Amino acid sequence: MCTRVIRSSPGEAVIVGRNMDYHCDTGTNLWVLPRGLDRVDGVGGSLHWTAKYGSLIAGAYDLISVDGVNEAGLAGHILWLTESDYGTYDTSKPALSMAIWLQYFLDNFATVAEAAAWVEKTKVQVVPLADPGTGTVPAVHLALDDATGDSAIIEYVDGEPTVWHDRSYTVMTNSPTYDKQLELLKQFEGFGGTDTLPGTTLASDRFARARYYSARLPKSDGPVAAVAGMLSVIRNAAQPFRIPDPGKPEVSQTIWQTVADLTNKRYVYSSTTNPNTIWVDLDEVDFGGSARKLDLASDTGLEGDLVGNVTDKFVACAPMQFLTLTRK
């Protein structure tokens, strides 16, 4: 479930797109979370911090940060990875709940390099929490990207974080783990192999298509064209609405898509159940003010009122409260 693609070419804006694929609605709303907010790790551990940077995020159930970008141009994206193994939570070590994992990076870092170095140094644990909508415990990995075009993939296998940090890591989907995805890619035409570019919704097939088409985008003549180009790539990797396959009662479909222009600081959001595309211009957001929310969960269907630039449509509210670990 899910696809993330970053494109960075000399003389052009750094653009990152992602599909959010899931088998049910996640009640997604957009939030402006200002700098200066005090936070805790969500597991009753040792990490406490004050947000250095303000951020714009897409939240699930108004409890989990799953996608977003901060005012410095660092963006992050949570995607599913079945093979994830976070190990047994050791209360003596620094840890973050899965709900606030992405938010920690948006709060504290301006670049991928800073974030990757912190993970390598601390070996921070991630503590999974049950999805409040389904009751299942997600298994996820994290992609980070920034306005310089840098990229990192963070995966947990055998209880330890692996950081894939390189500008060439432009695509992330789901299973298998990232090292195996890179090996599978080599079998296809254009990447050293002879197999025809695949067309299914398998994560490895979406990985190949996203890499192939993002590398062949024409030079854009401006920010609008750059966003349109990225949308064309992630739509090619989207999962259509469909009935479940036999033996698989839960089938994922693309429920929303985002494109972040990390150079011009614009965040574009599009729901697959609403024909209207909206965007937020981060340079127009007051990240030193109050927390604010844009209610997307009720703006559904053809009658949706939100369209175009919605930067001034957010409503002041209490900051989002992240899901925390419940101790027995």
Give catalytic residues, as residue numbers.
Answer: 2
The encoded tokens of residue 27 equal 């009640």
DSSP H or E segment with residue 119: helix 112-122
- Whether omega before 223 lies within 30 degrees of 0, making that bond cis, reads no
Backbone phi and psi for residue 172, each to the nearest 5 degrees, phi listed first: -140, 135
The burial class, CB within 10 Å (0-12 / 13-18 / 19+), for 158 is exposed
- The gap between the terminal CA atoms of the chain, to the nearest Å, is 31
Question: What's the rounded Cα separation, in Å, for the pair 255 and 15?
Answer: 20
Q: On the CB side of 74, how many CA atoms lie within 13 Å of its CA?
A: 24
The encoded tokens of residue 194 equal 């002879």
